[in-house]
Structure 1
Amino acid sequence: MGAHALDKELEAVAASARAALVREIDASGAWAADPVWRDVFATVPRHLFVPYYYVGVVGGYERRWGQSPDPEARERWVRGAYADTPLATRLRDGELLSSSSQPSLMAMMLTELGVEDGDRVLEIGAGTGYNAALLAHRLRDDDLVTTVDLEPEITESARRHLEDAGYHPVVVTGDGARGVPERAPFDRIIATCTLASIPPAWLAQCRPGGRILTPVATGLVALTVRDAGYAEGSFLSTPAYFVPLRGTGRPGPEPSALGAVPRRGREHDLFRFLLALTRGSVDPQEAYALWEREGRPGRERYGITVGAGSEWAWLDDPEGPYTWPLPA
């Protein structure tokens, strides 16, 4: 649905809701380190990227869409499109396949990515196309942005949304874990789906000194690439919950032997992050003892190193004593 399909009244609602969202993100401090993103979010129309979405209701989901014959329903749709919440955009048999991330989290991730004029950026997980539009607007050159997704229906709709909004980055259908070698090298790689480890192809396609920002476990790790075989970096302090990367690198099931772990551990976000990070390589009781001994460390004390044909996560120091192998 193009911008022309909104009546003037709804366009005014969209503009007002977008301005309110920008004020909310501004107050959160998400782009304090690079305020250029304020104008980007103020300009790119999120509603064009979510012509319909699903909101959770008792017993399942309710669909909101911009072509509803009911004017009140259309207004609910456009206001919801500018709420600072993730929006479920694709479901299959009740399972969430794709979503548009929470705008303030997107703003924080884009700021942390450290994009500079002229950078070539690869996005893993095209989603609705909104994030690619934000990048294209920021860089003022659509050809600098490449976004990839495994599902043809996702890339087709992302491309359509981008065209409706007037952006034309390169949209590729393929396995995000393999990157997009024909468009390399990249200065920045950002993923909007969770991985169990860092695909070697990303390092090979990233320039030395480049930056990779990706969800791992329930956090976000920012890696600096030294060369095609080595990258290292720490997690940000913020939690991040994303749909797993489809194709390769999908995280396995969570360890089930949590019965002996005290309830305050089982229910604590930071302990569950440690469990997800060390998935299967540390006994949950041992992990809990370590977590308590180290003062219940926040995400920012953990990091990941990719090098010498292996990958490992660590607490405080890549050399140890606390290191855990990541799945190949």
Structure 2
Amino acid sequence: MNDRSAKYREFFAKYVAGNANPGIANAFALVPRERFAGPGPWSIRCGDGYIRTPDDDPAFIYQDVLIGLDPDRGINIGMPSAHAAWLDKMDLREGDRVIQVGAGTGYYTAVIAEIVGASGTVTAFEIDEDLAARARQNLKDYSQVLVTLGPESAANCLRPTPSTSARRQQLRAGRGSMPCFPAVG
């Protein structure tokens, strides 16, 4: 990435993170959004549709906007300020283990990976084969990230069981991780 992109990321991170935990702004500043958006020009969500950027200047995507990955299907890289607020509420910390459902091309997976650091783990699920392949490629430098394809895997990880509340209490206390089992049948 070029110096111009780094300058945009630094401002963008402070802008979208607002008053959130400083670690969130730091994570946004470290992740190059254009890597996950693909080559420009890009489709930016505007009202009920999309507008195309005139060129591939990264200034267009370092704004608080949805970037269309597949506008015909309504698949986007989500609104950064909303994700920053949600991540702030999650109170993620170094070493945490996170399950993400709906990885897309991996942008927010990378942001989460920056927050939890090398001692944490992020297991990201994506049901679209092309998006999962793009996420794997985009996230190849994040050793703490595993991208898994298929709705069955995510559904089995999130299925409530009689011990779910006990597991949640353990997770909140920082003990253990949510087990994921392969789909049966």
Provide the TM-score with structure 2 as the length reference.
0.75
CA deviation after TM superposition for structure 1 residue 121, in Å: 0.5
Contact in 1 for aligned 2:45/2:65 (Cα 8 Å):
no
Higher strand share: 1
CA deviation after TM superposition for structure 1 residue 172, in Å: 0.3
Cα distance, 1:205–1:162 mapped onto 2, change above 3 Å = farther
Q: 2:35 aligns with which of 39, 48, 53?
A: 48
| Off by >6 Å, runs of 4+ in structure 1 | none
Where does residue 208 of structure 1 map in the other structure? 168
Matches within 5 A, 1:52-67: 52=39, 53-56=42-45, 61-64=50-53
Where does residue 128 of structure 1 map in the other structure? 105
Matches within 5 A, 1:76-155: 78-91=58-71, 94-96=72-74, 98-141=75-118, 144-155=121-132
Give the gaps of 5 or more residues in structure 1.
4-10, 65-71, 182-197, 212-227, 229-328
Q: For structure 1, which segment, 117-126 or 138-147, has the greater mean C-alpha deviation from structure 2 after superposition?
A: 138-147
Letter in 1 for 2:147: V
Where does residue 297 of structure 1 map in the other structure? none
Where does residue 36 of structure 1 map in the other structure? 23
Matches within 5 A, 1:280-319: none
* Corresponding residue SS for 1:73: coil
Larger Rg: 1
Aligned-residue sequence identity (percent) comes to 24
Instruction: Check if 1:73 corresponds to 2:58.
Output: no
Alpha-carbon separation, structure 2, partners of 1:59 and 1:149 = 25
Alpha-carbon separation, structure 2, partners of 1:86 and 1:206 = 37
Higher RCO, 1 vs 2 (CA within 8 Å, ≥6 residues apart): 2
Give the aligned length: 168
What root-mean-square deviation, in Å, do the aligned CA atoms of Structure 1 and Structure 2 show? Answer: 3.1
Instruction: Check if 1:170 corresponds to 2:152.
Output: no
Cα distance, 1:141–1:90 mapped onto 2, change above 3 Å = same
Where does residue 313 of structure 1 map in the other structure? none
Letter in 2 for 1:44: V
Higher helix share: 2
Instruction: Check if 1:16 corresponds to 2:7.
Output: yes
Alpha-carbon separation, structure 2, partners of 1:153 and 1:15 = 28
Provide the TM-score with structure 1 as the length reference.
0.45
Give the gaps of 5 or more residues in structure 2.
173-177, 179-185
